[in-house]
């Protein structure tokens, strides 16, 4: 009895015992593999790794970050059950108030406002309720914050009161907002 393999060989070779000679041409699989863009591959790998990391950290709730316009700090929100410190004033509104007040302190808004914006952006983000563990408080980061009571009883939440105190402080100590900004850049505080 002959096995199935022998029967198949007999059918293919015709029983001569010699293996058949068949011409084989390379098919599409044997062609050169397509070139891969290394930069695109790296970018895709990074995106995939970020997705995996976000999914591992947040599960299915992973969402892309919400971006805010440059120069506009987010309005702080109180934690549930936390006492409120008044309605926070948007940074742009506080800056508008400050720009209007500059001339009353002898400062030229065209030359001094930019320095003031930078200085108080670094100090407090222009937030009336900005508090520092050192005890500094408010837009100008008065230390202690209660010093601003000399400008008004509403010093804890009123941007106009805080700005008034801060501009008086700058004028008496640094002469101008740009002088205060220069001091901040030299020593990290003003």
Q: In this predicted structure, what is the pLDDT of residue 20?
A: 60
How many Cβ atoms from other residues are within 10 Å of residue 67's Cβ?
A: 6
pLDDT digits (tens, 9 = 90+) for 48-59: 877 777 766 666
Query: What six digits make up the tokens of 66?
Result: 């919400």
pLDDT digits (tens, 9 = 90+) for 125-154: 999 999 999 999 999 999 999 999 999 999
Greater pLDDT, 4 or 175: 175
Q: What predicted TM-score, i.e. pTM, was given to this entire model?
A: 0.55
pLDDT digits (tens, 9 = 90+) for 81-132: 333 455 578 898 999 999 999 999 999 999 999 999 999 999 999 999 999 9
Largest CA distance in the chain: 117
């Amino acid at each position: 009895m002959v096995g199935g393999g022998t029967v198949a060989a007999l059918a293919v070779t015709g029983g001569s015992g010699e293996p058949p000679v068949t011409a084989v041409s390379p098919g599409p699989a044997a062609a050169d593999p397509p070139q891969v863009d290394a930069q695109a591959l790296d970018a895709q790998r990074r995106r995939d790794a970020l997705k995996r990391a976000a999914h591992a950290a947040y599960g299915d709730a992973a969402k892309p970050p919400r971006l805010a316009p440059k120069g506009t700090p987010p309005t702080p929100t109180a934690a549930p059950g936390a006492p409120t410190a008044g309605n926070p004033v948007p940074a742009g509104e506080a800056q508008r108030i400050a720009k209007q007040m500059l001339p009353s302190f002898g400062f030229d808004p065209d030359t001094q406002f930019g320095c003031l914006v930078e200085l108080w952006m670094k100090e407090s983000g222009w937030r009336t309720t900005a508090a520092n563990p050192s005890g500094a408080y408010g837009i100008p980061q008065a230390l202690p914050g209660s010093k601003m009571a000399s400008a008004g009883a509403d010093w804890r939440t009123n941007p106009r009161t805080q700005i008034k105190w801060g501009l008086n402080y700058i004028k008496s100590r640094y002469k101008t907002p740009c002088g205060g900004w220069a001091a901040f850049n030299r020593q990290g505080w003003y």
